[in-house]
Amino acid sequence: MSGSDAQMNERGQPIRVLLADDHAVVRKGFRDFLEEDPALCVVAEASDGAEAWTLIAEHQPDVAVLDIRMPRLSGVELTRRVKAQYPNVRILVLTAYDDESYVLAILRAGADGYILKTAESGELLAAVKQVYRGKSFLDPNVTPSVIANLVNVPSSEQLTDREIQVVQGVAKGWTNREIARELSISDRTVQGHLANAFAKLDVASRTELVTVALQRGLISLPNR
């Protein structure tokens, strides 16, 4: 049995992959060399996060290869949704961003692997197969910074799901009262969540709060 044959999925078929990236040329390039390996099959492509969410629900691929910054739905938010609804779908983030805030945000959301677009084609193939087998994959170029942050950043700096919902409301331009009404909580509770988010993200204004939350992939820009 060849190395590729050994990597077939449990149904004895090629590993089913979904690609999501907002650049068509990038998707085509990665699709071409992924499908050079008979153990892999690209079943769908998405040009933004919302389309990826729809296609993941339709195809439930073995591995979803996602960019971290996409229109309509960020890779972080998409990963969080997929892991909650389709935990068997493995997620490999393929991105140009090596900033540790992005890496940590997507890993905390539940991503199984993180690889940079500068990686060799063989590394990407290996990463897809590794996360499919249930193992983690982290690009060696981001490993030192991630380890340093995991060691030095206290877990208390992570926003809770409710805090993220409140910050998303701020990003939509809602007042505290509007956020409270939308989430069916009190104005005072909204104020408490905002105070926690301000402290955890070390910001001093609502604008700075939204900016930092977007940079870290904690929220996505609201649809216009």
- Please write the tens of the pLDDT for every residue from 134-147: 988 988 887 666 66
155-215 CATH: 1.10.10.10
Looking at domain 3-151, its CATH class is alpha beta
Q: What are phi and psi of 116, to 5 degrees?
A: -85, 150
Name the residue ranges covered by the structural domains of the chain: 3-151, 155-215
Q: What angle do CA 128, 52, 76 make, to 5 degrees?
A: 75
**Range of weakest confidence among 70-84, 145-159, 207-221:** 145-159
- Provide mean pLDDT across the span 4-11: 57
CA 147 to chain centre: 19
Distance CA 47, CA 211 (A): 24
Strand order in the sheet with 137-138: 40-46, 15-20, 63-66, 90-95, 113-116, 137-138
| Mean pLDDT, the chain, whole residue set | 85
3-state class of 16 per DSSP?
strand
Residue 24: how many CA atoms within 13 Å on its side-chain side? 0
Q: What is the pLDDT of residue 11?
A: 65
Give the pLDDT score at 200.
82
Question: Which is higher by pLDDT, 119 or 150?
Answer: 119
**How large is the average pLDDT for residues 128-155?**
74
Who has greater pLDDT, 142 or 165?
Answer: 165
pTM of the model: 0.66
**Cα(135)–Cα(129) distance, rounded to whole angstroms?**
9
